[in-house]
Each structure stands twice: as structure tokens, then as C-alpha cells.
């Protein structure tokens, strides 16, 4: 009898629990990063707790009913279905490929200059990506493919493994290696003080963005998708790169560019490409804040 009367509460509780557990899994496994930025994390945990509270207390919240209504449970079950059916994250710019609207010639800089140092060293800012390791090796492979001197290669590898490269190190070698997790921070640092980095070597991985009206024949952008709030606002960002065969590169294919930082007539930095090698796609997005 009791069971009969609280069927609706039970169904609601089950939907809530199922959604909460799935959401918890998404957050705990960092998969949520395909949809929203890390800043939403505490809110998502709050949602998990709230829904679990509702689910376990559905007995307490029970209302006596004879008719069991369940249509409203789909408020949670529908998103759950969408989450559970496998799907790929948005990987490249293809979504915007025929518009110049989303073109950004520079990484957006919001943080004030005086924050520079703290941003620079703050490793917590870096977003842990499940694909980090894969991406790293790719970058290394790219270096190998390019047959850069052996000593340098080992050097680069150690540096990328230690991850934190100080300004001093970079300055000493006059080289910036843009780690996949540091894409925004490193590029932003260069944009903030282009003249300092003028002539530095740079290694960066991104997808080829060369189908914008605003780009010259011999310019493309090794870009990454940046997420400010959620997957609805993904925008390519990156530093333009001068390369003779730029228009011949396959749009949206992933490449590792090594080159030299230069300053254009407009005062904006760009990369003079020395070498371009194919790379494995980096699945993580860039989270500027």
C-alpha cells in the first residue's frame, strides 16, 4: 500500500539519483570539461549533493497520490540519455569554418599586467587533462620528426615533463615551449609583452585555421578552442603564423609549429614558421579563466 502511494516519489528519486551519480562521474573524471569550464565545478558538486538529498529523502518528501505522474522525470532523464549516448567533443573549428565572425587574431587578455608573475608560476591554473600524457608525447614525437639536434630534444623533453618552466629558463634559452595545458597563459604572456619575446623560438600545437577572409595567403593560425563559459561559446584562439604553404595546409588538421616569434607592422606578434609537423589532436579545450 505504502509502495503504491509513493510510486511517484520513488520514480522521482530514482531519476534524481541516476542523474546525480552520472553527474558526479562526469565531474570526478573531468569529462565535464567538454561541456563547461572548471569554474562551474563547485556548482556541479552542489547539484549532485542537492539531487542526492532529494533522492534519499524522497520518503520524507513523499506525497500521497494514487495517480503516478512520471513525465516530469524526463527533465533529468532526457539530459541523462544525451550524456550516456556516446558522442565526440567538438574538436576543431569546423563549426565556424565558413565565418569570419569568430576570428580572433590574439588571445584575449583580461588579466592585468601586474598579475603576470602569479599567473606565470601558478601551476594550479593549468587544467589537468586526461589526454595530457598523450598530447605530450605527440609534441615530443613532433620534435623527433623534425630532427632537431639530439641534445636539444632531450632538453625539451625534460623541460616538458617538469612542466613548470620559469621565465628565467625561457629567457636563458630564448625559447617558449607552449605546453598544451598552458596554451592560454603562455600566449597571453607573449601578447602582453611582445618585444620581450621578439626573436624567441616557439613550439606550439593547434589545429590549422586558414580559411578566414582576414588571413593572408601565407598566414594561418595554429589555434585551439577556448571555452569561457560552456560549449556554446567555444571560440578559436591562437597566434598567427607566417608560412609559405599556409593556404595549402589542410584546414582543421592538427599541427605542431616550431618557429620564431616576430613582431608585425601592427605591433602584434606572429610566428615565422621554421617547421610544421602533423600532430595528434589535443582533446582538451583552453579555459582562459
Partner 1 sequence: MNTPIYVVSGFLESGKTMLLNQLLSRSEWQSAKVGVVQFEMGETVLQGCVKSLMFSMEQTMSQPELVAEQMAGLIASERPDALWIEWNGMVAMEQLYKLLNASVLKGKCSLKGMLLVGHAEMLPNLLGRTGPALLSQVAECDCIAMRGQIDRRLKAQLKRLNPGVKLLQFDAYEAIQRQLTKEREHAGSRLSLTFLLLAGIYLLVKAVLNAIGIPADTIVNIFLGIILQAVPFLLIGVLLSSVLQILVPQRLIERYFPKSIGMGMLFAVLGGFLFPVCDCASIPVFKGLLRKGVPLPAAVTFMLVTPVINPWVIVSTYYAFSGDLFIVASRICFGIITAIFIGTTYIIWPAGDNLFRETRYEEILCSCGFYEDTTDGKLKERFWVVMRHAQATFFDVGKYLVIGTFVSAILQVINIQNTLGVYQGAGAVVVMMCLAFALSLCSSSDAIVARSFLSQFSLGAIMGFIVFGPMMDIKNVLLLSSSFSKHFIIRLLLTTFGVCFGVVYLLSKMGGM
Residue from 28, 56, 78, 167 binding partner 1 (CB under 8 A): 78
Q: By C-beta, is 75 or 167 nearer to partner 1?
A: 75
How many Å apart are CA 256 and CA 278, to the nearest integer? 6
**Position among 76, 127, 156, 279 found at the interface with partner 1 (CB under 8 A):** 76
Q: Report the residue number, 160 or 225, with the smaller CB distance to partner 1.
A: 225
Q: Compare residues 50 and 167 and give the one whose CB is closer to partner 1.
A: 50
Pick from 17, 83, 136, 263: which binds partner 1 (CB under 8 A)? 83
Torsion, Cα of 164, 169, 174, 178 (10° steps): 0
Residues 95 to 134 in contact with partner 1, rule: CB under 8 A: 95-96, 98-104, 108-110, 112
User: Least distance to partner 1 from the beta carbon of 50, Å?
Assistant: 5
Single residue of 7, 17, 21, 134 touching partner 1 by CB under 8 A:
7
Query: Position of cell 522525470?
Result: 73
- β pairing state of 201-209 and 254-263: antiparallel
Length of the chain: 289
- Binding positions for partner 1, 197-216, rule CB under 8 A: 214
Q: Which of 76, 74, 98, 80 is nearest to 26 (CA)?
A: 80
Contact between residue 219 and residue 239 where contact means Cβ atoms under 8 Å apart: no
Residue found under cell 570539461: 33
Minimum separation from the CB atom of position 252 to partner 1 (A): 13
Q: Restricting to residues 134-193, name those near partner 1 by CB under 8 A.
A: none
**245 close to 252: Cβ distance less than 8 angstroms:** no
For position 244 contacting partner 1 by CB under 8 A, the verdict is no
Q: Is the alpha carbon torsion for 266, 272, 276, 282 positive or negative?
A: negative
CA 130, distance to chain mean position in Å, is 11
Chain-centre distance for alpha carbon 92: 11
CB of 18 to partner 1, least distance (A): 10
Span 8-67, contacts to partner 1 by CB under 8 A: 8, 10-12, 23, 26, 32, 34-36, 40, 43-44, 46-47, 50, 53-54, 57, 60-61, 63-67
Amino acid at each position: 500500500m505504502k509502495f503504491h502511494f509513493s510510486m511517484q516519489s520513488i520514480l522521482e528519486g530514482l531519476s534524481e539519483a541516476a542523474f546525480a551519480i552520472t553527474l558526479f562521474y562526469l565531474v570526478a573524471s573531468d569529462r565535464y570539461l567538454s561541456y563547461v569550464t572548471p569554474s562551474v565545478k563547485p556548482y556541479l558538486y552542489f547539484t549532485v549533493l542537492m539531487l542526492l538529498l532529494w533522492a534519499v529523502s524522497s520518503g520524507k518528501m513523499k506525497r500521497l497520490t494514487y495517480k503516478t505522474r512520471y513525465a516530469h522525470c524526463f527533465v533529468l532523464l532526457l539530459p541523462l540519455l544525451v550524456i550516456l549516448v556516446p558522442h565526440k567533443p567538438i574538436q576543431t573549428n569546423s563549426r565556424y569554418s565558413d565565418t569570419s565572425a569568430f576570428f580572433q587574431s590574439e588571445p584575449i587578455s583580461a588579466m592585468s599586467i601586474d598579475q603576470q608573475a602569479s599567473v606565470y608560476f601558478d601551476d594550479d591554473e593549468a587544467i589537468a587533462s586526461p589526454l595530457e600524457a598523450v598530447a605530450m608525447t605527440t609534441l615530443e614525437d613532433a620534435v623527433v620528426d623534425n630532427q632537431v639536434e639530439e641534445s636539444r630534444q632531450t632538453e625539451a623533453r625534460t623541460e616538458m615533463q617538469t612542466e613548470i618552466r620559469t621565465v628565467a629558463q625561457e629567457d636563458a634559452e630564448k625559447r617558449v615551449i607552449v605546453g598544451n595545458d598552458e596554451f592560454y597563459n603562455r600566449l597571453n604572456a607573449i601578447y602582453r609583452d611582445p618585444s620581450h619575446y621578439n626573436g624567441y623560438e616557439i613550439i606550439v600545437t593547434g589545429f590549422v585555421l586558414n580559411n578566414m577572409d582576414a588571413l593572408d595567403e601565407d598566414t594561418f593560425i595554429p589555434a585551439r578552442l577556448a571555452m569561457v563559459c560552456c560549449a556554446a561559446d567555444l571560440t578559436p584562439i591562437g597566434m598567427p603564423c607566417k608560412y609559405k604553404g599556409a593556404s595549402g595546409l589542410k584546414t582543421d588538421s592538427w599541427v605542431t609549429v616550431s618557429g620564431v616569434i616576430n613582431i608585425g607592422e601592427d605591433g602584434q606578434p606572429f610566428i615565422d614558421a621554421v617547421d610544421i609537423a602533423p600532430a595528434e589532436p589535443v582533446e582538451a579545450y583552453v579555459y582562459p579563466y
